[in-house]
Structure 1
Amino acid sequence: MSAIKSYSKTYRIMHWAIAVSFTLLLVTILLRLTWMNKNHMADIIGVYLTDAGTSLPQDDLIVLAKKIRHPMWQWHTYIGYVLVGLFAIRFMLPIFGEMKFQNPFNKLLSVKEKFQFWVYIVFYVCVTASLITGLIIELGPKTLRKQVEDWHKLSIYYLVAYMVIHLTSILIAELTKEKGLVSRIISGSNKN
């Protein structure tokens, strides 16, 4: 049985700051895809206007819907900037001896540990690609925007998959050999 891992204050702060940022990003994405979908909102506005005895062309309704959801989408951008900063810090921390990256090729690791480290590597590569494409969309040349927008939209797939894998792994760990894992990542101590 491996030793119980403890988490430094720096590790815990970074973990939760990144987790909250991803959760908020996911909320904005899900809102955009569901309740605040431009077509759905345009239909609601159209029905309201029809009931009020007036109407607008569908294109104008979609423009109006986009304007209504624009402030929510600005939050997506702001949180993305925060995440860029957090990931820059995350990648610099190993220089200072904090949050070192694990080598999945280490022969002393168990299959479970190798899988875990590979999942983190794939996650970091995907996040980096999402952050770069997001920055290009916001700050880059307009000629590249449409090209990278499609790649950026794929982020939801790895993000949801990673969250499911991460939360499932935590549950399994808590119910088996790593009781107190959640307590350690919240408070740094092992409270069973």
Structure 2
Amino acid sequence: MEQSYSRIYRILHWTIAITFILIIITIFLRNTWLSKDNLAGIVENYFKDTDRPLSKDQSIALAKQIRAPMWQWHIYLGYVLIGLFWSRFIFTVLRKIRIQNPFNKTLSTKEKFQKWSFVVFYICVAISLFTGIFMENGPKEFKGLLKEIHVLSLYYLIPYIALHIGGILMAEFTNPKGIVSRMINGGSK
């Protein structure tokens, strides 16, 4: 029997997915075109032929100010993600969304793998959200350690997204077909 997805589940799924994509974009921009060194180089180059050249330190300070609003979006999106994950948890407790139970003995190996990958994903997301919120609002003496752990988040997120999309494609070309359309319209009840 093909699985159906409730409206609440689908809305949360797609909102979480979009939020993660936007968070990844902020990380990508911060580490590439909007990196402080890249921006500082552009600013330095621009001002070098003027009567007010900037030092490397001044250029980096200006670069940080230029990219600060974009990075603020990363923080806002983190708060949105916290709300979405709390909503997911609350709807699971209220039984509006089914829990992924990897201990069900009737599951195939493939299904257990899928369920366990969701469990690991949610644990990793909880760690990312915890470290992010405490970097912003917690004691400053732990900020360095929390930042190191938080930065490592990217190393689970990208492979998980690739695994998730690969699993969806595999399902679409084998069985159960139609998972994408069921995630959009809900499927049979």
Identify whether the pair has TM-score above 0.5, normalized to the shorter chain.
yes
1:168-179 mapped onto 2 (5 Å cutoff): 168-179=166-177
- 1:138 is aligned to 136
Q: Which has the higher contact order (CA 8 A, sep 6+)?
A: 2
Which residue, 115, 118, 126 being the options, matches 1:117? 115
- 1:11 is aligned to 9
- 1:99 is aligned to 97
- 1:129 is aligned to 127
1:6-155 mapped onto 2 (5 Å cutoff): 6-155=4-153
Letter in 2 for 1:123: F
Instruction: Provide the alpha-carbon RMSD of the alignment.
Output: 1.2
Is the partner of 1:179 in helix, strand or coil? coil
Say whether the 8 Å CA contact 2:40–2:60 is kept in structure 1: yes
Deviation of 1:102 after TM superposition, in Å, equals: 2.4
The question of 1:184 aligning with 2:182 is answered yes
Q: Please, which runs of 5 or more residues in structure 2 have no aligned partner?
A: none
Which residue, 156, 159, 162 being the options, matches 1:161? 159
Say whether the 8 Å CA contact 2:19–2:77 is kept in structure 1: yes
TM-score (norm 1): 0.94
Deviating beyond 6 angstroms after TM superposition, the runs of 4 or more aligned structure 1 residues are none
TM-score (norm 2): 0.95
Letter in 1 for 2:156: Y
| Aligned-residue identity in percent | 50
Say whether the 8 Å CA contact 2:8–2:96 is kept in structure 1: yes
| Alignment partners' CA distance in 2, 1:186 and 1:34 | 33
Structure 1, 7-16 or 136-145: larger mean CA deviation: 136-145
| Alignment partners' CA distance in 1, 2:187 and 2:102 | 27
Say whether the 8 Å CA contact 2:10–2:184 is kept in structure 1: yes
Letter in 2 for 1:59: D
Deviation of 1:53 after TM superposition, in Å, equals: 4.8
Letter in 2 for 1:84: I
